């Protein structure tokens, strides 16, 4: 009889190990992977998704099953050891069951499950669905008791709100997979840029009016053609009276067609007839909306205006796509050295370089909430327009102004400031004052 009870103890330990592995696997499984597998036709993945959707009932079933198995195993073991060794058998049973439960019913199955949570979840899906169905009435009673106690304690179920938005959680998942080596940096940056489109505005990526290539529409046709050939762009804004007064956009292809139609006679070309009307968009429009607008209008170029209707710059489809895929260059682009890495690990950066581009190139985390360019960040943090040679330290970096032209910072030297670990002992006591010296 004792050997039958001993066999039942082993069986209860196996059942307890099953529940422990199921708990760890279901909690650690990837809902994204399960959703993908379900769409691919895996029936077990669909069961896992339904189990995860009813987490309270699943957790209740796991706890009830696990505790029943452990308690039954302990009671039977106590009976067996008491029959074998008398009253001292209680001590032997307690010691033996503690070792067996911890190793074989907890640590071992959970270690196996945590190393392959998705595979184990798929394996236990069907049995767990049956167990949850069988324990349904008992789980309902337990659920009512738990909700009542939590309500009395002022902790209602369902009041929890996630700390991060779904977008931020997705971004965190991408960063984690990149850190583990599953996603390359370029892919991580592309996914991050895609997620940023709703948060970024046109003003964050536009070309400022001071950097725009514009042509005076009152020039002669020959002069305009010469200006168009001198630039690497295919769409050039035309202005009259003042550079901010944009009256049209000249497309290089339209100019070529006009040259062909006139047999190369520049005097027969009417620039006003071939230039396109300007399209003005507000600077605060999200990039995701502007991307849709580009697709609807089937155009790649727009002029950006502020709340007063004044031209602030221009934005192209390429500017938005570069937020996703990074810098796009072709054989006609003029190479501009914006970021130059130094042998000591520091960088020399043009003041007009966008913060986002610098972060992407150097894998830094400089904030871009208050400023778009790196020069704008220095001006915002210093609350002034620094002179050449001035240096500032903030956000874990040291910024030194190399060149300044009038009110514009044109070149900066940026170096990462090494983190200083907190001192201990006598040195820490000396650091307690406003200043200290090591020598």
Q: Determine the CATH number of domain 339-416.
A: 3.30.465.10
Determine the pLDDT at residue 280. 94
The full length of the chain comes to 439
Please provide the average confidence, as pLDDT, over all residues in the chain.
Answer: 82
**Domain ranges, ordered by start, for the chain:** 2-152, 166-196, 203-325, 339-416
Determine the pLDDT at residue 32. 78
Tally of CB atoms within 10 A around 327: 11
Q: Structure pTM?
A: 0.54
The H-assigned helical ranges of 337-431 are 355-362, 374-382, 425-430
Q: Per-residue pLDDT for 160 more than 70?
A: no
Model confidence at 168, in pLDDT bands (50, 70, 90)?
low
Cβ(350)–Cβ(331) under 8 Å?
A: no
CATH class for domain 203-325? Answer: alpha beta
Positive or negative: CA dihedral 15, 19, 21, 25: positive
- Cα-to-chain-centroid distance, residue 181: 16
pLDDT digits (tens, 9 = 90+) for 105-145: 888 888 988 888 889 989 999 999 998 888 878 878 877 88
- Cα-to-chain-centroid distance, residue 248: 39
Mean pLDDT of 78-86: 82
Burial letters for 234-246: b for 16+ Cβ neighbours within 10 Å, e otherwise? bbbbbbeeeeeeb
Positive or negative: CA dihedral 202, 207, 213, 217: positive
Which tokens is 262 given? 């006139």
Positive or negative: CA dihedral 293, 299, 300, 304: negative
pLDDT digits (tens, 9 = 90+) for 360-417: 778 788 888 788 888 899 998 888 888 888 999 988 899 999 999 888 888 999 998 8
Q: Residue 208: which residues within 8 A CB-CB, separation 6 or more?
A: 312, 313, 352
Q: Per-residue pLDDT for 429 more than 60?
A: no
Determine the pLDDT at residue 320. 87
Model confidence at 167, in pLDDT bands (50, 70, 90)?
low
């Amino acid at each position: 009889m004792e050997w039958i009870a001993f066999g039942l103890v082993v069986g209860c330990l196996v059942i307890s190990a099953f529940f422990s592995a199921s708990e760890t696997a279901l909690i650690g499984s990837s809902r994204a992977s399960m959703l993908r597998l379900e769409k691919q036709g895996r029936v077990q993945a669909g069961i896992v998704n339904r189990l995860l959707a009813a987490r309270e009932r699943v957790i209740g079933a796991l706890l009830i099953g696990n505790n029943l198995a452990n308690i039954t195993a302990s009671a039977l073991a106590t009976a067996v050891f008491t029959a074998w060794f008398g009253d001292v058998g209680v001590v032997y049973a307690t010691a033996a069951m503690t070792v067996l439960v911890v190793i074989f019913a907890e640590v071992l199955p959970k270690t196996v499950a945590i190393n392959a949570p998705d595979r184990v979840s798929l394996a236990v899906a069907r049995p767990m669905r049956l167990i949850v169905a069988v324990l349904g009435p008992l789980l309902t009673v337990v659920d009512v008791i738990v909700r009542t106690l939590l309500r009395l304690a002022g902790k209602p179920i369902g009041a929890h709100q996630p700390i991060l938005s779904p977008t931020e959680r997705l971004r965190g998942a991408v960063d984690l997979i990149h850190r583990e080596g599953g996603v390359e940096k370029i892919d991580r940056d592309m996914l991050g840029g895609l997620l940023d489109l709703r948060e970024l505005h046109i003003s964050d990526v536009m070309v400022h009016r001071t950097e725009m290539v514009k042509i005076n529409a009152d020039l002669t046709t020959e002069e305009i053609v010469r200006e168009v050939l001198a630039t690497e762009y295919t769409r050039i804004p035309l202005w009259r009276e003042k550079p901010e007064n944009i009256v049209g956009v000249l497309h290089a292809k339209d100019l070529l067609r006009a040259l062909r139609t006139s047999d190369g006679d520049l005097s027969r070309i009417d620039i006003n007839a071939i230039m396109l009307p300007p399209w003005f968009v507000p600077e605060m429009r999200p990039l995701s909306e502007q991307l849709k607008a580009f697709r609807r209008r089937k155009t790649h170029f727009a002029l950006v205006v502020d709340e007063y209707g004044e031209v602030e710059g221009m934005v192209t489809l390429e500017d938005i796509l570069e937020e996703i895929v990074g810098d796009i260059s072709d054989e006609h682009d003029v190479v501009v050295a914006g970021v130059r890495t130094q042998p000591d690990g520091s960088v020399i950066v043009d003041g007009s370089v966008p913060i986002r581009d610098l972060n992407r190139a150097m894998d830094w985390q400089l904030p871009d909430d208050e400023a778009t360019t790196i020069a704008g960040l220095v001006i915002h943090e210093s609350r002034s327009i620094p002179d050449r040679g001035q240096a500032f330290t903030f956000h874990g970096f040291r910024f030194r102004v190399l060149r300044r032209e009038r009110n514009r910072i044109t070149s900066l030297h940026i170096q990462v400031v090494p983190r200083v670990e907190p001192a201990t002992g006598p040195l820490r006591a000396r650091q307690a004052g406003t200043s200290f010296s090591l020598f």
